[in-house]
Chains A and B, each alone.
Chain A
Amino acid sequence: QKEVEQNSGPLSVPEGAIASLNCTYSDRGSQSFFWYRQYSGKSPELIMSIYSNGDKEDGRFTAQLNKASQYVSLLIRDSQPSDSATYLCAVPRGSTLGRLYFGRGTQLTVWP
Chain B
Amino acid sequence: GAGVSQSPRYKVAKRGQDVALRCDPISGHVSLFWYQQALGQGPEFLTYFQNEAQLDKSGLPSDRFFAERPEGSVSTLKIQRTQQEDSAVYLCASSLGGTAAGELFFGEGSRLTVL
Binding site for B on A (CB under 8 A): 4, 32, 34, 36, 42-46, 49, 88, 90, 92-93, 96-105
Contacts and interface: CB of A to CB of B under 8 A. Distances in A.
Interface stretch (B14-22, B68-76, B99-107): B99-107
Top 4 A-B pairs, shortest CB-CB distance = A102-B42, A97-B101, A97-B102, A43-B106
Tell me the dominant secondary structure on chain A's binding face. Answer: strand
Contact of B45 (A4, A46, A49, A100): A100
Given A34-B103, A43-B107, A102 B31 contact: no
B109 A99 contact: no
A92 B102 contact: yes
B80 to A, nearest CB: 24
Given A43-B109, A44-B106, A104-B41, A98 B91 contact: no
Contact of A99 (B42, B56, B106, B108): B56
B1 interface: no
Interface string B76-101: 00000000000000010101010111
Nearest to B107: A43
A90 B43 CA distance: 10
24 contacts: A34-B102, A34-B103, A43-B107, A44-B43, A44-B106, A45-B106, A46-B103, A46-B105, A49-B102, A88-B42, A92-B102, A96-B48, A96-B101, A97-B99, A97-B100, A97-B101, A98-B48, A98-B101, A98-B102, A98-B104, A99-B33, A99-B59, A104-B40, A105-B42
B50 to A, nearest CB: 9
Contact of B42 (A49, A92, A103): A103
Contact of A98 (B33, B41, B59, B109): B33
